[in-house]
């Protein structure tokens, strides 16, 4: 399966997120995760923790998906430590009010 960064070009968060959600086995998810971490580390302007960035990005993107997809992604990427940067666990359901309040808090910071 083609991994993010295979062609050496830039990628959008949408391309990344869609590819992350398409993984079907734990082995594929682990390979995808590791490939994304290595791609992130190779970016000359990047100075952060690549593993944590990829964990959060996969978790964040899964937040746009159905509960079923989030649960599937949580299982596939469990060994990678993927989490949502605002709500934590991918299987935890945030209410619309909680999501709105989190957004307001983020904007205020």
Number of domains in the chain: 1
CB 84 within 8 A of CB 68: no
Residue 51 located in a structural domain: yes
Residue 82 located in a structural domain: yes
CB 58 within 8 A of CB 78: no
Residue 1 located in a structural domain: no
Residue 6 located in a structural domain: no
CB 30 within 8 A of CB 80: yes
On the question of pLDDT at 4 being above 80, the answer is no
Count CB-CB contacts under 10 A for residue 62: 24
Domain ranges, residue 67 = 13-108
- pLDDT (tens digit, 9 = 90+) per residue, 9-62? 567 888 999 999 999 999 999 999 999 999 999 999 999 999 999 999 999 999
Residue 86 located in a structural domain: yes
What region does 5 belong to: left with phi over 0, alpha with psi -120 to 50, or beta? Answer: left
Tokens 């593993």 locate to 51
Global confidence as pTM: 0.83
Residue 3 located in a structural domain: no
- pLDDT (tens digit, 9 = 90+) per residue, 73-87? 999 999 999 999 988
């Amino acid at each position: 399966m083609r991994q993010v960064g295979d062609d050496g070009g830039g990628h959008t968060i949408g391309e990344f997120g869609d590819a992350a959600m398409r993984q079907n086995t734990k082995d594929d998810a682990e390979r995808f995760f590791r490939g994304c971490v290595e791609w992130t580390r190779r970016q000359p302007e990047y100075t952060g923790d690549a593993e944590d960035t990829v964990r959060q990005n996969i978790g964040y993107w899964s937040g746009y998906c159905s509960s079923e997809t989030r649960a599937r992604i949580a299982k596939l990427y469990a060994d990678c430590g993927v989490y949502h940067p605002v709500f934590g666990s991918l299987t935890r359901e945030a209410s619309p009010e909680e999501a709105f309040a989190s957004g307001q808090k983020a904007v205020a910071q």
